[in-house]
Amino acid sequence: MAEDEQRRQRRQRVFKGATILTGMTHSEVTCTVRNMHAGGAELKVSIDARVPDEFLLYVPTDGIAYKAVVRWRREDRIGNMFTGTAPKPHWHYG
């Protein structure tokens, strides 16, 4: 079954700057949200970026930090599922 056929919701194409925030020594990975819906998103990251299986995705234009779990990885793309939201960590500058 194709990946698109497995989705429950159709993702809206977007182009938003975002930051992956990890609990590991307050690490931050810059990324771009390529498409998104209420349940998840596809991110474009640097090919050599280290992204854990669970993280906060802070999207400044939305003003929201999404709790995210990785569903798939392909080269510089990461598909993730949102499991909730959280306040933006106080240590994040943005």
The CATH code of the domain that includes 22 is: 2.40.10.220
Range of the domain at 47: 3-86
Summarised one tens digit per residue, pLDDT across range 18-51 is: 999 987 667 889 999 999 999 999 999 999 999 9
Mean per-residue pLDDT of the chain: 85
- Please tell me the total count of domains within the chain: 1
* Pair 21, 55: CB distance under 8 Å: yes
pLDDT at 88 over 50: yes
- Is 15 domain-assigned? yes
Residue 30, amino acid: T
* Pair 35, 11: CB distance under 8 Å: yes
- Is 91 domain-assigned? no
Give the pTM.
Answer: 0.81
- Is 21 domain-assigned? yes
